Chain A
Amino acid sequence: MSADLLTVSDLKKHFIVGYRGIVAREPITVKAVDGVSFAVREGETFGLVGESGSGKSTVAYTVVGMYKPTAGDIAFQGQSLYGRGGKRRADLRKEIQIVFQDPGSSLNPRRTIKDIVGFPLRLYGSNGDLQTRILELLQMVELPADYMHKYPQMLGGGEKQMVAIARALATSPSFVILDEPTSALDVSIQAKIINLLLRLQKEFHLSYLFITHDLSLMRNVASRVAIMYLGKICEIADAAEFFRNPYHPYTQMLLSSIPVVSDEEEALKPKKIASLGEIPSPINVPSGCSFHPRCPQSKDICSSEDPAMVEVEPGHTVRCHISR
C-alpha cells in the first residue's frame, strides 16, 4: 500500500448565510462540510460521491484553497497546508491543482488558449521556451497546435475540458482534484476525457480526488470511494467492495436509482429501494443521523443520536446505526 499523499482530518467548513433577529443577531450557518476525514494515497484515484448539496464540491474548493477551513486540517505529504497564523502555504500551491466541472466558466472567454495554458507557466517559470512548453501541454491532452490562438468559445465542451486539464498540469502538480470533470459532457466525449486522465495519471504518477455524482463512472475510475450526505461522509470502502457490498442505506438507495444499460448491471444493483423524499436544506439538518427522514430502515435511535464511523470490514467504514 502506498503512502498517504493528502490527508483531510475532521475538516469543517461552515458558511454564514444570514442573520436571524434584529437586535441580537444570531447567525444562520450552513454546515456545508461538517467533520470530514479521509486520506488520498499516492497514485490512487479517490472517489467522492454525493448529490447536490452534499458538500462534495466544498471539500474540493477547501482543499484547493478557495475556502479557508472553519476547523480541521489538510495535510500534504504530512505537512499542514496552513502555516503559522493560519495562512495557506504558497509553496504548495503548484502541487495541488483543480479541474472544474463547467469548462464554460473555468476558461476565460476573452483569453486565448495560449494565454490560458501559458499563465501558470509564466507564474512559476518553466524550463525552456514558453511556446514550446505550451505546445507540449496541448499535445499531452491531444489537442492540435493551431488551437493556441483560438478562444474557448470556438471549442467544443470536451476540448475546453482538455484545455482545463492542460492548465492544471502546467505546474506539474502531484495532486489533482477533478470536480465532476465530465458531468457536462456527452458520454462519448466523457470516455475520451476519462481515458486521457487515466493515461496522464500513470504517466505522471498523479493522485486524483475525483468528485462526481455518477456512481457508474466511479466504478470505472476510482480505487476507493467515499460517499457524502449533508456535509458528512457516510461510507468509505475500496471500490470493488463498495459496489459489491454497500452497507449504508443511502448508498443502497443511490445504487438502486442509477439508470443502467444492461441486464448484467441490473443484477448488480441492490434490490429496488424506492428513493424517498429529497435532500433537506443544509440550513435545517435533521437531528441524529441526517439521513433518517429518508431512510427506509430508520429506527428510534437514528433520530436522536448521530452514529459514529465504524469499521465493518478492513478498509470499509460506515456511519450508520443499523449496520452494526
Chain B
Amino acid sequence: MTKTVTDVVCPFCGTLCDDLEVVVSDDGKQLLEVYNACAIGAEKFLHSQAEDRLTRPRLQQEDGSWKDVTYDEAIEYTAQMLASSTKPLMYGWSSTNCEAQGVGSEIGEITGAVMDNTATVCHGTSLIAVQDIGIPHCTLGEVKNRADRVVFWGCNPAHAHPRHMSRYSIFPRGFFTGKGHKGRKVIVIDPRKTDTANVADVHLQIEQGRDYELLDALRVAFKGLPLPDVVAGIPKEQIYEAAEVLKSGRFVIIFFGMGVTQSLGKNHNIDEAIAVTRDLNEYTKAAIMPMRGHYNVTGSGAVWGWQFGFPFAVDLSRGFARYNPGETTSNDLLRRGEVDSVFVLGSDPGAHFPFSSVKKISELPSVCIDPHQTPTTAVCKLHVPVAFVGVEIGGCAYRMDNVPIETRKVVEAPEGMMTDEEFLEKVLVRIKEIKGE
C-alpha cells in the first residue's frame, strides 16, 4: 500500500507551488511519485531518494580525499572554526527554512559574522532599488484575479519558474479575469526569443544592456512626449503602442528577473522599472514584482529584516548590524580577502560565484551544509549533508510575493540524519560554551 500526501509545498523556486501530491510508501520511508510539480520540482523530491546520497558528514583530507566523520565531530569542527574566526562569512540561507535562518542569525551575532544570502548575486540590486524608490507590489493572487496586462522583463518563467504562468500570471481564470489568458495582454521584453516570448502578444526584442533606455522611453511615452526614432533597438511606434497597452489596462503587473538586475545598469534599471510602475499608477493600477529564484531567499531577507533591519549583506563583525552593499557583500569580501572563514548553507556559490571568489573559499577554512554534492561542497573542508527541507522536514518559507507558507515533511530522512536547524542549534550551544556565554 502507498499513501498520498496532498497540499505539498515545492521547495524549489520562488513560485512556491503548494498543490503538489506526493506518493510515499506505507512506512513513510520512501518517496515514490510526485504529481502536479514541474520537471525541476519533481526532480528535487525524487533526488532525495538517490541511492548514492551522502548521509554522514565528511572531511576533506590534505590529499583531496574525503574521510567520513560523525555529526558530533562536524559540530565541533564548525563551532571551533566560527568561534576562532574574527570575521566569518555565513552565506546562503536561501534553500532552508526560516527556523534555521533564525538560529543562524544568533550564531552570526555571537561570532561577528557577515550574513549574506543569494540575493547578493541575484535580486540584491532590486532590494537596493526598493531602498531608493520603494515598490508598488501585490500578492500573486491579485495578479490572478485582476491583472489584464502582464509584462515579463528580463525573465523567462517558461524555464526558470515553470508553473508561474499557469498558476498566477497568464492562464488562470480569476474573479475579475474570467476569460483567463484571452483577457490578458502579455508583453515580453528580452533580447532573446525565449519560450516565454513565444506565448506573448508583444515581444520587444531589446538590445542587450539597453533596459534603462527603454524603461525611460516608456515613461516619456506615457506622457505623450517625443522620442527618438529608435530606442534600445525598438522603433518608437512600438514603444508608444506598448505604453498605450499598459495605460489602457485595468491592472498592470511587471515581473522582472536577472536579465535586468544583473546586466548593465543593475539597481538603476530597477529604479527605473519601479518609476514606470509608479507612473502607471497615475493612469491605472500597477504593481511590480521580482521573480525571486530560491524558494526561500525572500524568507532570509524577511528574517534578517526583523532581526537586524537589513535584507542582505548584513555585517555583524563590529558587534552591531551594518549594511553597505559593495563593501559587505560576499564577493567583495572574498575577493578583497576580508573574511577568514566561510560557512555555506542552502546555496551553491561554487557554481554561481566568479572563479576568483570560489578560489578564495577553497583557500579558507570552510564548511558547507547541503543535502547534495555540489561544486561548493567540493571546495569546502567539511561537507555536512542534512535532511531536505520541504521533503524530509517542514518549516516556513516565503514566496516571491513575501507570502509565508509552511512547507511539509512528506518522507522520513535516512536514519540518523540531522536537519539544518538541529545542526545549527548544536553548533550554537557549542559556540556559547567556547565563548563562555
Q: A and B, one complex?
A: no
Using a CB–CB cutoff of 8 Å, the interface residues on chain A facing chain B are none
